[in-house]
Amino acid sequence: LITDIRMPKMDGLALFRRCRERHPELPVILITAFGRIEDAVEAMRGGAFDYISKPFDEGELLRVVGNAVATSEAVDREGASAPAEEWFGMVGGSPAWLDVRKVIEKAAASPFAVLITGETGTGKELVARAIHRISVRRDGPFLKINGAAIPPTLWEAEMFGYEKGAFTGAVQSKPGRFELADGGTFFLDEVGEVPLAVQGKLLRVLEDGEFERVGGVKTLTADVRLICASNRDLKRDTERGRFREDLYYRVSGIPIHLPPLRDRREDLVPLAEFFLARTCRNLGVGRKTLSDGTAEVLDRYTWPGNIRELENAVARAVALSDEDTLTPADLCLGLAQPEAPVSPADIEGERFHESVREHKRAVIRRAIAKAGGSKSRAAEILGLSPTYLSRLLRVLGVEGKGNGA
């Protein structure tokens, strides 16, 4: 949601507050005049994603919107109806998950920095939010930033803010994430993407709580609890000179490693049922269930995309199926994975591979039909990027109607 603060009948701040009440997961970007920057900053402390000062150029707007899309979070699950195992939007009763939960609770009770590691799609942001919500900082702001979405030249400005005139386009001063997160928690996803030139300044904030805005001379302070996440081996990065060793030991005060979904087999069905109930609720459709044979299929699959892949598979099945009971075929497992090349040894199984490809064609055609011919909407239904769907259309020889609008 992008809204101006000053509007007739209802101002942007009132709209923001109402939006937070009804759709807490929706990123809100505020547009403000110079005289009302304080209002925008206060709104960010209350959960707004970012703000843009007038006048602004198209590039700045696209950058902020891009960051919002890249870091868009899942729906806040607290208070929602779900299985009893749900805990801050996370579900599970396996030994692997229960061990992680114990560490999360201990980390929340401490003041130290936390480093969350694990494969993509294992739920690192949900863990960071859980730590914040059960810590003494729960009433403070929770700010986040996705390192993979920030160009190297903008890191310092995003983290520490900038003064008017600090660089081309800096028409007004703007606080950074640390300044806005004062008294709360700052979640830095993909910390391994922080440029070496900025890592020293990040270390200073962690050690002394001090920093300067870009183009500024005044030393500012911030009381912030930092939670970092990475799917890379930061220890190896330190050995290769890509990540400062002293910073590594600072950010990894309490390490939390999230196991891949393939190591949480006992949690597969509870997670699938949780996503199924939530998706039906969000889409306003009747209750759906999983067929008897689904559990076995879920257990056989390797889940390279982890929990995120399971969530997308269930959501896709709900959107495409008209039946009350979802079968393994409805889940279309592996649809988001590239087609593996067929070796000569697979010739005997060529009929099987063609059956798989035909199933994928049928699923894609149903999605495009459901989307009224819009390939971009079909990609959203399938949980794929538009670029990857276009590649699938070419590889599978599917004629997609529409121009992607």
Q: 107 with 124: CB under 8 angstroms?
A: no
pLDDT(140) > 70:
yes
| Pair 106, 226 in one domain | yes
By three-state DSSP, how is residue 123 classified? Answer: coil
State which of 205, 233, 261 marks the end of a domain.
261
State which of 229, 244, 261 marks the end of a domain.
261
Evaluate whether residue 87 is within a structural domain.
Answer: no
Closest among 91, 158, 95, 94 to 127, alpha carbons compared: 91
Torsion 138-139-140-141 (CA) sign: positive
Lowest mean pLDDT among 8-17, 57-66, 332-341: 332-341
Instruction: Report pLDDT for 45.
Output: 63
| Pair 312, 219 in one domain | no
Lowest mean pLDDT among 9-18, 43-52, 223-232: 43-52
Q: 179 with 218: CB under 8 angstroms?
A: no
| Pair 365, 301 in one domain | no
User: H helices within 23-70, ranges in order?
Assistant: 37-45, 58-70
Indicate the average pLDDT of the chain.
Answer: 83
Evaluate whether residue 40 is within a structural domain.
Answer: yes
Q: Which residues contact 363 (CB under 8 A, 6 or more apart)?
A: 320, 332, 335, 382
Of residues 332 and 121, the one with the higher pLDDT is 121
| Pair 133, 206 in one domain | yes
- Torsions phi, psi of 213, nearest 5? -70, 160
pLDDT(341) > 50:
no
pLDDT(403) > 90:
no
CA distances from 156 to 62, 63, 102, 111, 385 (A): 19, 15, 35, 25, 30
Residue that has been written with the tokens 């049922």 in this structure: 273
Average pLDDT over residues 267-271: 94
State which of 280, 313, 332 marks the end of a domain.
332
pLDDT (tens digit per residue) in 159-170? 999 999 998 888
| Pair 202, 288 in one domain | no
Lowest mean pLDDT among 1-10, 16-25, 64-73, 141-150: 64-73
Residue 229's beta-bridge partner residues? Answer: 116, 189
pLDDT(135) > 70:
yes
Can you give the pTM of this predicted structure? Answer: 0.68
Evaluate whether residue 61 is within a structural domain.
Answer: yes
pLDDT(277) > 80:
yes
The enclosing H or E element of 174 equals strand 174-175
Evaluate whether residue 83 is within a structural domain.
Answer: no
| Pair 129, 205 in one domain | yes
* Whole-number Å distance between alpha carbons of 208 and 381: 47
pLDDT(383) > 90:
no
By three-state DSSP, how is residue 53 classified? Answer: strand
Instruction: Report pLDDT for 171.
Output: 87
Instruction: Report pLDDT for 10.
Output: 73
User: Which tokens go with 237?
Assistant: 């990065």
| Pair 245, 151 in one domain | yes
Average pLDDT over residues 55-67: 79
By three-state DSSP, how is residue 268 classified? Answer: helix
Which one-letter amino acid corresponds to residue 5?
A: I
* Residue 55 banded pLDDT, cuts 50, 70, 90: confident
| Pair 296, 173 in one domain | no
CATH assignment of the domain containing 42: 3.40.50.2300
Average pLDDT over residues 50-60: 78
Q: 372 with 403: CB under 8 angstroms?
A: no
Evaluate whether residue 80 is within a structural domain.
Answer: no
* Whole-number Å distance between alpha carbons of 371 and 379: 9
| Pair 295, 350 in one domain | no
Lowest mean pLDDT among 182-191, 237-246, 292-301, 306-315: 292-301
| Segments forming the whole domain that contains residue 362 | 335-405
CATH assignment of the domain containing 148: 3.40.50.300
Of residues 387 and 272, the one with the higher pLDDT is 272
| Pair 114, 213 in one domain | yes
Instruction: Report pLDDT for 334.
Output: 66
Q: How many CB atoms lie within 10 A of CB 187?
A: 28
Closest among 87, 92, 67, 68 to 77, alpha carbons compared: 87
pLDDT (tens digit per residue) in 94-104? 999 999 999 99
CATH assignment of the domain containing 365: 1.10.10.60
Q: Which residues contact 39 (CB under 8 A, 6 or more apart)?
A: 5, 13, 32
Instruction: Report pLDDT for 348.
Output: 47
Instruction: Report pLDDT for 351.
Output: 52
Evaluate whether residue 200 is within a structural domain.
Answer: yes
User: Which tokens go with 16?
Assistant: 């923001």
pLDDT(151) > 60:
yes
3-state secondary structure 125-170: HHHHHHHHHCCCCCCCCEEEEEHHHCCHHHHHHHHHEECCCCCCCC
Q: 309 with 334: CB under 8 angstroms?
A: no
* Whole-number Å distance between alpha carbons of 333 and 398: 19
Task: Report the chain's terminal Cα–Cα distance, integer Å.
Answer: 20
Within the chain, what is the greatest distance between any pair of CA atoms? 72
- Mean pLDDT is highest, among 114-128, 293-307, 315-329, for 114-128
Evaluate whether residue 405 is within a structural domain.
Answer: yes
| Pair 282, 240 in one domain | no
CATH assignment of the domain containing 295: 1.10.8.60
Question: What's the structural domain count of the chain?
Answer: 4
pLDDT(49) > 50:
yes
Evaluate whether residue 60 is within a structural domain.
Answer: yes
Instruction: Report pLDDT for 141.
Output: 94
pLDDT (tens digit per residue) in 177-219? 999 999 999 999 999 999 999 999 999 999 999 999 999 999 9
| Pair 137, 149 in one domain | yes
* Residue 284 banded pLDDT, cuts 50, 70, 90: confident
